[in-house]
Amino acid sequence: MTTATTSHPKKPRRTGAQQGRPSVGIRELKAKASAIVEDVKNRRVTYAVTKRGAVEALIVPADAGERLLAQPEAESAWEAWDALVTSLATGGGKQTRSAVEELERMRR
């Protein structure tokens, strides 16, 4: 008697924090990466990658990820981040004080 093998990973665990999506541990991902990627591609599912029970990353179909990256909000968020970094790096035009000076001012 022969046993049939499937390319799908074992039935994923589900927790409430993962919003009903299948999850895979980091070690299982290393062992079954090809099967998981095929599952994401063919069934268009999103996997939550967990490390010690906490979700660390998501594996999503490529076109879904590209749509997220192409959204204009993502562009404006990066522009806002760059503006903040530039402002903080230049001091924002404010005079700087040491932490000791600031504590002395607060204690007065």
> CB neighbours of 58 closer than 8 A, spacing ≥ 6?
21, 46, 47, 48, 49
Q: Which of 25, 44, 62 is the last residue of a domain?
A: 62
Mean pLDDT of the chain: 76
Q: What is the pLDDT of residue 63?
A: 80
Same structural domain for residues 44 and 82? no
Residue 1 shares a structural domain with residue 49:
yes
What's the pLDDT tens digit per position in 29-48? 999 999 999 999 899 888 99
The pTM of this model reads 0.47
Residues 54, 89, single domain; the answer is no
Domain that holds residue 95: 71-108
Q: What is the pLDDT of residues 74-105, one digit of tens each?
A: 667 778 778 777 776 666 556 677 788 888 88
Tell me how far the alpha carbon of residue 93 is from its chain's centroid: 34
Domain tally, the chain:
2
Q: Check: CB of residue 54 under 8 Å from CB of residue 63.
A: no
SS3 36: helix
User: Which CATH number characterizes residue 58's domain?
Assistant: 3.40.1620.10
